[in-house]
Amino acid sequence: MHEKRDRMWECRTAHAHSDIPHLVRALPRHPGKEQTMSEKKTRTGSENRKRIVKFTARFTEDEAEIVREKAESSGQTVSTFIRSSSLDKVVNCRTDDRMIDEIMRLGRLQKHLFVEGKRTGDKEYAEVLVAITEYVNALRRDLMGR
């Protein structure tokens, strides 16, 4: 088994007669379209950067931890979170999205149990489904109103 694997990686060139296996170089992703650095038409992200001004701010350890937690919960980097917050841009919190997804999952589960239990006339199941739907809609309106 190992012989087959070793032979797979051997190079079949003039050096193939030696006891040392030679590795085969991978083919380029786009053969025939290789470009040198000077031939590239687009600039890299660091050369094309629009935000060139840097600010330095001092935080206490507690403040820094709060900023990190808020940035993480919103799914942003710390610098993006601070920039968005200071420019009065809406910071969408990913935690709220996760909460809505979880509530919707519970609602679907409740509906599944309702249908599988063949309890179509059960008032309690219907009340739970209506309550979940109303809560999700209210939460969605609250989040969109920010």
Strand partners, 10: 23
Residue 59 or residue 101, greater confidence: 59
pLDDT at 8: 47
SS3 40: coil
Q: How far lies 101's CA from each of 89, 95, 96, 105, 107, in Å?
A: 24, 10, 9, 6, 10
Kindly list the domain boundaries of the chain, sorted by start residue. Answer: 59-92, 94-144
> At 37, is the pLDDT very low, low, confident or very high (cuts 50, 70, 90)?
low
73-87 pLDDT, tens per residue? Answer: 777 899 988 988 888
89-119 pLDDT, tens per residue? Answer: 766 666 566 777 888 888 888 878 777 777 6
Mean pLDDT of the chain: 73
